[in-house]
């Protein structure tokens, strides 16, 4: 008769560790100051500072410290993957199919549906739409799930109507960026990434003249060298890969509106850099 496996299983390598007395200097790495870029040897390893400089996800610490108190292990894993597909891409939503989530979590369809239902019940996610690409999920941060306001640590996009841009003339169809997955069809405008800004204090900023806001000023005045609006507009158009006159004009209008609202130029520049990194990552994924 086969012997039953013991219920308790130790951790490999843990049994060889003896519990030492408290000694602050026992592990040199624990004495390093925050931000000190050094690694020191201990137990055959180098322990110390690490900085992730690219391809990382900006996720609030509440996701780990607060959500873990109310989510089971599988629910935490599914929630983290939804955050990877949403907030890591600079948005509060994502579209994911069941097969993709099943592969990521290594769960059966039945278990996945049970886990996703738990996230919906606990207000960490909400399904909004479904098509052949998958389900569109609104993903909530722990503060939102608890019915609280998102703090100043998270920048939210400004509320705006979902305006549909007018079709472009055939001779002004926007060109796709080099290495993009597909070319834009003739006469169809390309969806450009939006800027993410937060409505906060209104710092001093350079506002356009009333004539420029009304549309009566020449566009060349907005993009002349040395103009703050022109520099930001050119940077936004370049980040989107829209270097033609139509793409530049669209960027000018958005930058003009943001500055008129009192958004800080430094914040706008940071959002443009986010758009540039996202476009570069998308182009890299589309390169065969």
Would you kindly state where each structural domain of the chain is located, as residue ranges? 62-145, 202-286
125/205 Cα distance (integer angstroms)? 38
89 versus 205: the higher-pLDDT residue is: 89
Q: What confidence tier does 70 reach under pLDDT thresholds 50, 70, 90?
A: very high
Q: What confidence tier does 164 reach under pLDDT thresholds 50, 70, 90?
A: low
Q: Tell me: pLDDT of 230 over 80.
A: yes
Neighbouring residues of 264: CB distance < 8 A, sequence distance ≥ 6: 203, 205
Q: What is the pLDDT of residue 282?
A: 81
Q: Tell me: pLDDT of 207 over 80.
A: no
Looking at the structure, give the CATH architecture of the domain made up of residues 62-145.
Orthogonal Bundle (1.10)
Q: Tell me: pLDDT of 212 over 60.
A: no
**Closest by CA position to 262, among listed 200, 202, 197:** 202
Query: What's the mean pLDDT when you consider all of the chain?
Result: 78
Q: What confidence tier does 163 reach under pLDDT thresholds 50, 70, 90?
A: low
Q: What mean pLDDT is predicted for residues 159-176? A: 55
Neighbouring residues of 113: CB distance < 8 A, sequence distance ≥ 6: 98
Q: What is the pLDDT of residue 188?
A: 41
Model pTM above 0.85: no
Neighbouring residues of 109: CB distance < 8 A, sequence distance ≥ 6: 98, 102
Q: What is the pLDDT of residue 20?
A: 81
**Closest by CA position to 137, among listed 151, 155, 124, 148:** 124
> What is the strand order of the sheet 134-139 is part of?
93-96, 134-139, 125-131
What is Dmax (Cα atoms) for the chain?
A: 91
For 145, the token pair is: 């799930």
């Amino acid at each position: 008769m086969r012997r039953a496996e013991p219920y308790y299983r130790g951790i490999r390598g843990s049994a060889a560790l003896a519990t030492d007395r408290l000694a602050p200097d026992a592990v040199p790495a624990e004495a390093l100051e925050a931000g000190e870029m050094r690694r020191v040897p201990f137990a055959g390893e180098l322990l110390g500072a690490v900085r992730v400089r690219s391809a990382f996800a900006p996720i609030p610490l509440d996701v780990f410290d607060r959500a873990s108190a109310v989510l089971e292990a599988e629910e935490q894993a599914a929630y983290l993957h939804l955050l990877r597909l949403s907030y890591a891409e600079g948005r509060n939503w994502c579209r994911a199919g069941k097969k993709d989530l099943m592969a990521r979590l290594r769960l059966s369809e039945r278990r996945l549906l049970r886990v996703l239902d738990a996230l919906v019940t606990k207000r960490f996610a909400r399904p909004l739409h479904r098509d052949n690409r998958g389900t569109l999920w609104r993903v909530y941060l722990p503060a939102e799930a608890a019915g609280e306001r998102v703090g100043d640590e998270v920048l939210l996009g400004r509320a705006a109507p979902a305006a549909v841009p007018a079709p472009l003339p055939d001779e002004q169809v926007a060109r796709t960026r080099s290495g993009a997955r597909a070319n834009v069809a003739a006469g169809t405008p390309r969806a450009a990434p939006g800027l993410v800004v937060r409505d906060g204090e209104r710092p001093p900023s350079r506002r356009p003249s009333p004539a420029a806001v009304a549309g009566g000023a020449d566009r060349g005045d907005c993009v002349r060298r040395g103009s703050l609006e022109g520099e930001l507009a050119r940077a936004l158009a370049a980040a989107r890969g829209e270097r033609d006159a139509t793409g530049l004009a669209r960027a000018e209008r958005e930058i003009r509106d943001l500055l008129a609202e009192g958004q800080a130029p430094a914040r706008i520049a940071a959002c443009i850099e986010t758009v540039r990194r996202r476009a570069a990552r998308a182009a890299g994924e589309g390169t065969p």
